[in-house]
Amino acid sequence: MVSQMPHLAVALFLLSFSFLAYLYTIHLSDNKVTLVWLIQGGQNDKLTDKRLAYNSAKHEDQSTNRSDRTDLISSNNGCTMAPESRFDCGRDRLLSREECEARGCCYAPLATSAGPPWCFYPHPYPGYRMGPLTPTIWGQAATLTRDTPSYLPKDISTLSLDVREENSGTLHLTLKDPSSQRYEVNLPAESSQREAETKNVLYITEFLSDPFGFVVRRKANGKVIVNTTVAPLLFADQYLQLSTSLASSFVSGLGEHYTPLILDLNWTSLTLWNRDMAPHADANLYGSHPFYIVQEQDGLAHGVFLLNSNAIEVILQPTPALTWVSTGGILDLYIFLGPDSQSVIRQYLHIIGYPMMPPYWSLGFHLCRWGYTTTNTTRKVAQNMHRANFPMDVQWNDLDYANKRRIFTFDPWRFGDLPEMVEEFHKRGMKYILILDPGISSTSPPGTYPPFDDGLRRGVFIKNATGNILIGKVWPGPTAFPDFTNPEARRWWEDCIRDFHSKVPVDGLWIDMNEPSNFVQGSVEGCPDSDLENPPYTPRVVGGHLNSGTLCMSAQQQISTHYNLHNLYGLTEAYATHSALVRILRKRPFVLSRSSYPGIGRFSGVWTGDVRSDWEQLQFSIPAILQLSMFGVPLVGADICGFGGNTTEELCVRWMQLGAFYPFMRNHNDKPNAPQEPYVFGQKAQAAMRSALNLRYSLLPFLYTLFHHAHASAETVARPLFIEFPSDPNCQDIDKQFLWGSSLLISPVLEQGAVELAAYLPAGTWYSLHNGQPFYSKGQYLLLSAPLDNISVHVREGHIVPQQEPALTTTASRTNPFFLTVALSAGGWAWGDLFWDDGDSLDTFEMQNYCYVIFIAGQSQIVSDPVKLNGALDGLVLGGLRVFGVPSPPRYVLANGEKVRDFTYRTDTKVLTVTGLLLPMSEVFTVQWAL
C-alpha cells in the first residue's frame, strides 16, 4: 500500500488539475475574453495573436447603460471571491449599496468596516479595449478605447499605450491621453541612457485586450511579476488607477513613511505627498518615492517604479496586491527584473541617475542645534568637542544666524563676526554649514533685502492663479517662494549664494523646509475654489487637503501648476543648489535636503527630519535609512539623539553608537530641549561616545570606498541583509541590523536597559571587529554581550577592510597611517579594495584622477595591487594589520621579504596583529606569515 501512495497522489493531482482547467474554461466561456500574447525576446520577434473563443453568451453591447451593466454583473458569479481578493470600487468616495451597484460593482458587507472593501469590482469588469500592437522605433504601441465612460468625472475614453524594452532587465510601459498634453515628469538633467541590446530579455509580456490588462512574467521560471488584469484600469483627468497582484508579501519601498522595512499588506495605504511632518505612523512625510522592491523566492527580486509626481495613494492588500491611485499626470511605469535586489536597484538608478560622490570630510561627524544663538556660543561648542577629544569635522548653524530669520543675511549683533568664525574653523581643519530655507521674506522695505528685490525684478517667484506673487508664511513672516523649474530662478539662486559666499565662505548648504512648508494653508490670501484645490479625489494626507501646510495647488510655476510639481520642489531646489555650488566652489558640493523625490541622490544627501528622542524612533531610523539607501540616496542619516524632546544619557549613547554607522552622521537638537552634545554627559557615557566616533573615523577609508562604488556602480552603502543574502529567508525582514557594503554587519542595541542582544548572523564565519573573536554561524541568532560602551560590529569572512588611524578631523586623519583588518575565510583567503583621491575635487572618477588599490590575502600572505595611481597616496603608509582566523601561531612575519619584530598572536581568538610597518601605500607590498 505504501509503495502505491505516490501513484495515488499523482492521480489525485491530475484529477484536481483537470477540474480546475474545466472551471477556468467555464469562467472564460461565461465572459468571452480575448488575449493578445506578446512574447518578448527582442524587438523583431513576431507577435502571436491567440484568440480563445468559446460558445457562450455574446459580449455585452458596448452601448449598454450602467443599469444594464448592473443586471449583467448581478446575474453572473463575478462577485464570488475571497474577501482578501476584493479590489475597492469606491476608493474615490464612500458608497451606499445603490451607488455601488450603479457602478456595476458588487456589494457584500462584512462584519467590520476595516479591511476588505464592501464595494468591489466583479471579475471581469468592463473597461478599455486594446487595439492591435504596432511596431515603433523604440518598441510597440497600441490604442486603448472605451465606448462607455467609467463612473469618474472627466473620464478619458482613448489612451495610447507605449511599450519599450529599455534593456534586458527593464520594461517600460506608458499610458497617456493622445489628444491632450498632460504633465509628464522629466528628471533634471536626465542622464540615463537607453541600452540598445535587448535580445536576452528577462521578461515575457502578455496583454489582455478586452478588458485591457497586462501580465509580466519572469522568463526564467514563468513567475508572474505584474498582473494588472486583477482590477480595471481607470484613467480620468484627476484620477488614475492601476492595480496589480504581487509575487510575494515581502515588499519594501514606497517611502517616505514611518514603517518597518517590510511593508504591512493588511489593507494599509501609503500616501506619497511631501509634507513638513515629524515622523510618525500613518502620515505622509517629507519625501515621495513611488518605487518598490518585491522579494520573490530563491533569491530573486523585482522592482516597479511609477514616474509620476502628483499626489499618489498606494493601497496594499493581503491578496497580495497593490493599487496605484494618482491624482494626475500619466501612468509611466518601469518594471525591473533584477534578477536580484542589488540588480533591481542598479536598474532603477539607471533611470533616475547614480548618486553623487560626497566630499570626504562630509563623512565625518557633524554637530548642530537650533539654539546656538551667537558666534561665541557656536565657537565654544566646537572648542569643547575637540578639548574633550571628540572627533568632529563640521560645525553647523540653524536659522539663529540669520538677521530677522531672512536667508542670505547674518545678524549684525549676534553673528557679526560670522565670516571670521568660519575662517577660524577652516584654519583648524574644520568645515562650516548653515541652513537655507526656500521662503524669501517679502516684507522688508524696498531696496533693503536684495534677494527679494532682485527676485521680484527677475520674475523668479511662484505666482498664484491670478498671476500675482503667491505669498505664504514661514519663519521670517510673509514669504515668496522661488520657482526652481525656472532657469532664471536657478541663476538668481546661484547669484544669491555666490554673493553670500563671498562674505561667509560656507562649505556646504542645508536646504530645509523645502516640501515646501507653509505655516498657512495655501497662501495668506487663501486659495481659489477649483478642481485643483478640491479635486474629485484627495488621498489620505495630513490635514485632509493637498494644500495643507504648503502652497495652493493652483499656484503657477513655469512648467506647470504646483498641483503637478509639488513633490518635485525639493528635488528642483537640490539641483539648483548643487549646480550653484559646483560653479562657485569649483569643488565637490555638499547639500543636505529634507524633501526628496527620485533622483535627488545625484545632488544631495537627505536626513529623516524631526525625529523624537525616544527608543522607538531610534529603532525606526534603521528602516528609514535603508529605504532611502535603496532609493538611490546613500548619504543619509537621522538626527542623532533625536531632534524633538529631551534625550537621556543611555539613549544618546546608544544613538551615537548606531549613528556612527549612519552613512551621514549628525547630532541635531531643537531649541527647548536639554543639551545633547557628547561632552555634556558623564565620563562613562563620554568614553562610549568617543569610542564610537573613533571607530567611525578609523573606518572612513572603507566608507569612502563604499561611496565610490555607489557613485560608479549603483551599489548600496547601508545595506539591508536581504540584498546581500537573498537566498536566506531569515534575512527577508530584518531591519534592526544592517550592513556596510558586503563586509560589516552592524547590530546595535535598540532597547532601554539592554546589556545583551540577539543578533542574526548569516551562515559563515563572522569576526568581532573589536577583537577578532570568531563566530561560526549556520544562519542563526546568537546572544551577544552588549555593555553600554560597546556596539556589536562583525566582519564577514573573506573580506579585507582598509582603515586609518583616527584623528579629531578628517583633515588630520587622512595623513595618518593605514591599517588593514583581514578576515580570512575557512580556506584562508580574503579580498578588499581602497578608492582614494584628494577628497573634494570634482569628477575624479570620471576624469581618472584617483588611486585604486586591491588587497588579496591567501596562502598565509597579503599582497597589495595598486591598480591605478595618481599621486594621492604618495607619502601615506601602511602602519599595520590585523589578520583574523590565523589557525596557529606564526613562526615569523615578513614584510616585503624583511623580518618584522612587532607582531603578536592570540591563541584564544586566533588573531595575528602586526605593527610598526612603514610600507608605502602607493607601491606593491607583501606581508607573509610562516606557520
Q: Are strands 591-593 and 508-511 parallel, antiparallel or unpaired?
A: parallel
pLDDT for the residue 632: 98
Measuring CA to CA, which residue among 130, 85, 127 is closest to residue 106?
85
Q: In a 3-state reduction of DSSP, which class is residue 378? A: helix
pLDDT digits (tens, 9 = 90+) for 751-762: 999 999 999 999
Cβ neighbours of residue 430 under 8 Å, at least 6 residues apart? 382, 392, 393, 394, 395, 809, 811
Q: How far is CA 580 from CA 327, 584, 587, 602, 844, in A?
A: 33, 6, 11, 14, 19
pLDDT for the residue 198: 58
Please list the alpha-helical segments (H only) found in 649-786. Answer: 649-659, 683-698, 700-713, 721-724
Q: Taking 60 as the threshold, does the pLDDT of residue 743 lie above it?
A: yes
Run of H or E residues at 379:
helix 375-387
Cβ neighbours of residue 646 under 8 Å, at least 6 residues apart? 613, 673, 674
Task: Report d(CA 858, CA 52) in Å as an integer.
Answer: 62
Mean pLDDT of 175-198: 76
pLDDT digits (tens, 9 = 90+) for 247-262: 999 999 999 999 999 9
Q: Which of 40-54, 129-143, 347-361 has the lowest mean pLDDT?
A: 40-54
Q: Taking 70 as the threshold, does the pLDDT of residue 702 lie above it?
A: yes
pLDDT for the residue 8: 39
Say if residues 675 and 669 touch (Cβ distance below 8 Å). Answer: yes
pLDDT for the residue 189: 55
Which one of the listed residues 165, 210, 507, 512 is annotated catalytic? 512
pLDDT for the residue 188: 73
Which one of the listed residues 515, 670, 733, 837 is annotated catalytic? 515
Summarize the chain as % helix, strand, coil (round to 5). Answer: 25, 30, 50
Please list the alpha-helical segments (H only) found in 504-636. Answer: 562-565, 569-585, 615-630
pLDDT digits (tens, 9 = 90+) for 161-177: 999 999 999 999 999 99
Farthest CA pair distance, the chain: 100
Q: Taking 50 as the threshold, does the pLDDT of residue 38 lie above it?
A: no
Task: Report d(CA 900, CA 903) in Å as an integer.
Answer: 7
Nearest-Å Rg of the Cα atoms of the chain is: 30
Confidence of residue 197 (pLDDT cuts 50, 70, 90): low
The cell for 585 is: 566652489
Task: Report d(CA 864, CA 321) in Å as an integer.
Answer: 50
Strands of the 718-719 sheet, one edge to the other: 718-719, 738-740, 744-747, 792-796, 764-768, 774-777
Mean pLDDT of 547-567: 98
Measuring CA to CA, which residue among 757, 770, 764 is closest to residue 799?
764
Active site includes 101? no
pLDDT for the residue 187: 82
Say if residues 398 and 371 touch (Cβ distance below 8 Å). Answer: yes
- Neighbour count for residue 23 (Cβ, 10 Å): 10
CA 414 to chain centre: 39
The cell for 539 is: 488621498
pLDDT digits (tens, 9 = 90+) for 419-436: 999 999 999 999 999 999
pLDDT for the residue 660: 98
Q: Taking 60 as the threshold, does the pLDDT of residue 66 lie above it?
A: no
The mean pLDDT of the chain is 92
Confidence of residue 801 (pLDDT cuts 50, 70, 90): very high
Task: Report d(CA 339, CA 882) in Å as an integer.
Answer: 36
Give the E-state strand segments of 237-288 in sequence order. 239-245, 250-253, 268-272
Mean pLDDT of 859-876: 98
Confidence of residue 297 (pLDDT cuts 50, 70, 90): confident
Say what percent of the chain tops pLDDT 90. Answer: 89
Residue 22 backbone dihedrals phi, psi, to 5 degrees = -60, -45
Task: Report d(CA 203, CA 223) in Å as an integer.
Answer: 10
479-513 in b/e burial notation, b at 16+ Cβ within 10 A?
bbbbbbbbeebbebbbbbbeebbeebebbbbbbbb
Measuring CA to CA, which residue among 205, 295, 115, 262 is closest to residue 627?
262
The cell for 242 is: 492601476
The cell for 169 is: 532587465
Cis peptide before 211 (omega within 30 of 0): yes
Q: How far is CA 95 from CA 92, 121, 149, 858, 878, in A?
A: 9, 13, 19, 70, 72
With vertex at residue 18, the alpha carbon angle to CA 16 and CA 20, rounded to the nearest 5 degrees, is 70
Q: Are strands 394-397 and 365-367 parallel, antiparallel or unpaired?
A: parallel
Task: Report d(CA 749, CA 205) in Å as an integer.
Answer: 46
Measuring CA to CA, which residue among 226, 235, 182 is closest to residue 207?
226
Say if residues 513 and 549 touch (Cβ distance below 8 Å). Answer: no
Q: Taking 70 as the threshold, does the pLDDT of residue 557 lie above it?
A: yes
| Cα dihedral 613/617/619/624 (nearest 10) | -130
Residue 511 backbone dihedrals phi, psi, to 5 degrees = -100, 110
DSSP-assigned letters across all residues of 478-528 = EEE-B-TTSHHHHHHHHHHHHHHHHHS--SEEEE-STTT--SSSB-TT---
Q: Taking 90 as the threshold, does the pLDDT of residue 575 lie above it?
A: yes
Q: In a 3-state reduction of DSSP, which class is residue 29? A: helix
Q: Taking 90 as the threshold, does the pLDDT of residue 192 lie above it?
A: no
Measuring CA to CA, which residue among 801, 736, 748, 750 is closest to residue 772?
801
Say what percent of the chain tops pLDDT 70. Answer: 91
Say if residues 822 and 830 touch (Cβ distance below 8 Å). Answer: yes
In DSSP terms, 241 is beta-bridged to 234, 325
Mean pLDDT of 66-95: 72
pLDDT digits (tens, 9 = 90+) for 102-148: 999 999 999 988 899 999 999 999 999 999 999 999 899 999 999 99
In DSSP terms, 311 is beta-bridged to none
Q: Taking 50 as the threshold, does the pLDDT of residue 20 lie above it?
A: no
Run of H or E residues at 919:
strand 919-920
Q: Which of 5-14, 201-210, 791-800, 829-838 has the lowest mean pLDDT?
A: 5-14
- Neighbour count for residue 908 (Cβ, 10 Å): 8
Task: Report d(CA 911, CA 533) in Å as an integer.
Answer: 66
pLDDT for the residue 332: 98
Cβ neighbours of residue 744 under 8 Å, at least 6 residues apart? 699, 702, 769, 793, 794, 795, 796, 801
pLDDT digits (tens, 9 = 90+) for 356-396: 999 999 999 999 999 999 999 999 999 999 999 999 999 99
Measuring CA to CA, which residue among 593, 531, 562 is closest to residue 462?
562
Active site includes 398? no
Confidence of residue 51 (pLDDT cuts 50, 70, 90): very low
